[in-house]
Amino acid sequence: MSEYIHLFDTTLRDGAQTLGVDFSYADKVAIAQALDEFGIDYIEGGWPGANPGDTQFFAEPPSFRHAKLVAFGMTRRPGRSVENDPGLASVLDAKAYGACLVGKAWDFHVRDALNTTLEENLAMIESSVAHCARRGFEPHYDAEHFFDGYKSNPDFARQCLRAAFDGGAKWVVLCDTNGGTLPDEVHRIITALARDFDVARMGIHTHNDTENAVANTLTAVRAGVRLVQGTLNGLGERCGNANLISVIPSLMLKMGFSTSVHDLGKLKALSELLSDRLNSEPVAQAAYVGRAAFAHKGGLHGSAVLKDPRTYEHIVPELVGNSREVIMSDQAGRANIISRLTQAGLVVEDAQIPLLLDAMKKRQAQGYSYDGASASFELMVHERLGTRRDFFTVSRFRVIDERRLDRRNEWLTESEATITLQLRGQSVHTVAVGRGPVNALDRALRSALVAQFAQLGDVRLVDYRVRIIHPTLGGIAEGGSGSSAVTRVIIECTDGVETWSTVGVSENIIGASFEALVDAYIWRLVTYAGRSAPAAD
């Protein structure tokens, strides 16, 4: 049986330090639940007490089926007892299984940053870890700047590790905090540690400042550590952290280790979920999961791949949820669309696949993306196959924004939406006021539909994301100018039981938003009526 590597995700803390990233509570819950479903062992939820978002997350944490929730914090401050350190108290007040405490392991930082003695730092580590254990938390110790500390003063760096183990740490993690260590140094230092420590109780935490975070992580595992820390898509401050999306398949497929991940085929979806929550485009060249990871240009490479994929592919793409794409070939994207149909539970005849593939490519050229909008993808399939049932059609809509003074003489902005639609042979006209144009349109649409379809009463919009899509060479849409950008809107709805996402694209943000809204309600009605619904009314 292969050796087991424990996976420790720090996306919700390290990832939140990425330039331009700001997780909402809903983002943190969605990402944490996806990590748990994927099979991650430990999920570090953030630093309770450091900011309102992290504090709320630990006050109302999601429930997990597999993962253990870990709160991050620091060892006690110099001169304080563990019982009287407010930072440590915040960690231990969190609703978490484990506590990961960062502490200095570099003598330079102890003297110049903490302004204390080496002996006091060792006491801080041991007493803090022991306090977490006494309070019922599984204690972890992150040895900050360990590799720099080891190169400066190996004896003291070792003493820091020993203090953590003496305090009862379940895991002691070696941190390359500034990302400047190279793989040969990582291997040499961990090999030296193995003479005095059980390195199988150690973990590795690397940063990517020299583009070596993944290499350093895999090297550390090869040298004996059995826990790896990292983030989804390599998020993190400065140049990022070790990318678990690359580390995990390399551990399992290349190095033969086992992990708690039971379906590696969900890897690409997990990566894209994070991109979707951040409202960012997935990196095409990302290893294993990028759109270009198994894309081959027509010609020598393309023909060689069609004869034997092993020629230019280091793994079978489907193992990580990806698919092969041969550019300028009728095989391009076929596996991708079949995979999407399977995920949606749609049964389509083989002869219809080229029709759907052509439709999907045209929609993508117009700016549509179905990676985070599976409900719209299903509706597009029904439309092309002639099985889409729209239940209603919109004749016209209008939105007016008004800014006025309220009774307290404060400026108030309201939006008023007017919608006319055809429903069961009748023309229905509704007007609604909302906090913004999308909210007003949603209310007006609901007002018209709920009276006829009571099952839509629990549907509510929970997320709204906008991206400006710049045209590719030759223009985005047929007949377009090829110079103006379009707006892509993805909305997420729920009825309290199921959550689904739809997409709309237009040169006008309101038009794109309304298209996504209409799809959201139609998809819900289609699922209630059954996917084999007859043609439109």
pLDDT at residue 113 tops 90: yes
- Token readout for 456 is 């839509």
Q: What is the pLDDT of residue 329?
A: 44
Question: Rounded to an integer, what distance in angstroms lies between the CA atom of residue 110 and that of residue 173?
Answer: 18
Q: What is the pLDDT of residue 530?
A: 62
Q: What is the mean pLDDT of residues 41-68?
A: 95
* Local confidence band at 420 (pLDDT 50, 70, 90 cut-offs): very high
Question: Rounded to an integer, what distance in angstroms lies between the CA atom of residue 277 and that of residue 30?
Answer: 9
| Full 3-state SS string of 313-351 | CCCCHHHHCCCCEECCCCCCCHHHHHHHHHHHCCCCCHH
- Are 400 and 375 a contacting pair, CB within 8 Å? no
Digit-coded pLDDT (tens) for 316-352: 999 999 987 655 444 446 666 776 787 777 888 888 8
The dihedral formed by the CA atoms of 298, 300, 304 and 310, expressed in degrees to the nearest 10: -90
pLDDT at residue 474 tops 70: no
Question: Rounded to an integer, what distance in angstroms lies between the CA atom of residue 262 and that of residue 487?
Answer: 38
The winner for highest mean pLDDT among 176-180, 331-335, 348-352, 357-361 is 176-180
* Local confidence band at 533 (pLDDT 50, 70, 90 cut-offs): very low
Q: Count CB neighbours of 138 within 10 A.
A: 18
Q: What is the pLDDT of residue 479?
A: 39
How big, in percent rounded to 5, are the helix, strand and coil portions of the chain?
A: 40, 20, 35
pLDDT at residue 439 tops 70: yes
Q: Is 240 helix (H, G, I), strand (E, B) or coil?
A: coil
Taking the CA of residue 29 as centre, how many other CA atoms within 13 Å lie in the half-sphere pointing to its CB?
13
pLDDT at residue 480 tops 50: no
Q: What is the pLDDT of residue 94?
A: 96
- Are 430 and 406 a contacting pair, CB within 8 Å? no
Q: What is the pLDDT of residue 267?
A: 97
358 Cβ contact list (under 8 Å, min separation 6) = none
498 Cβ contact list (under 8 Å, min separation 6) = 527
Mean pLDDT of the chain: 89
Q: What is the pLDDT of residue 37?
A: 96
pLDDT at residue 184 tops 60: yes
Question: Rounded to an integer, what distance in angstroms lies between the CA atom of residue 235 and that of residue 237?
Answer: 7
Q: Which is more confident, 371 or 241?
A: 241
Digit-coded pLDDT (tens) for 122-166: 999 999 999 999 999 999 999 999 999 999 999 999 999 999 999
pLDDT at residue 536 tops 80: no
Question: Rounded to an integer, what distance in angstroms lies between the CA atom of residue 246 and that of residue 388?
Answer: 39
Q: Are strands 426-434 and 460-469 parallel, antiparallel or unpaired?
A: unpaired
H helices of 372-471, where? 374-385, 437-450
Q: Which is more confident, 343 or 362?
A: 362
Q: What is the pLDDT of residue 476?
A: 42
* Local confidence band at 471 (pLDDT 50, 70, 90 cut-offs): low
513 closest CA partner among 480, 466, 459, 477? 466
pLDDT at residue 266 tops 90: yes
By percentage, how much of the chain surpasses pLDDT 70?
Answer: 90
Question: Rounded to an integer, what distance in angstroms lies between the CA atom of residue 71 and that of residue 24?
Answer: 17
pLDDT at residue 97 tops 90: yes
Q: What is the pLDDT of residue 93?
A: 95
Q: Which is more confident, 386 or 12?
A: 12
310 Cβ contact list (under 8 Å, min separation 6) = none
Q: What is the mean pLDDT of residues 190-199?
A: 97
- Are 170 and 139 a contacting pair, CB within 8 Å? yes
pLDDT at residue 484 tops 90: no
pLDDT at residue 367 tops 50: yes
> DSSP letters of 453-486?
-GGGGG-EEEEEEEEEEPPPTT-SSTT--SSS-E
Q: What is the mean pLDDT of residues 502-518?
A: 95
Q: What is the pLDDT of residue 477?
A: 40
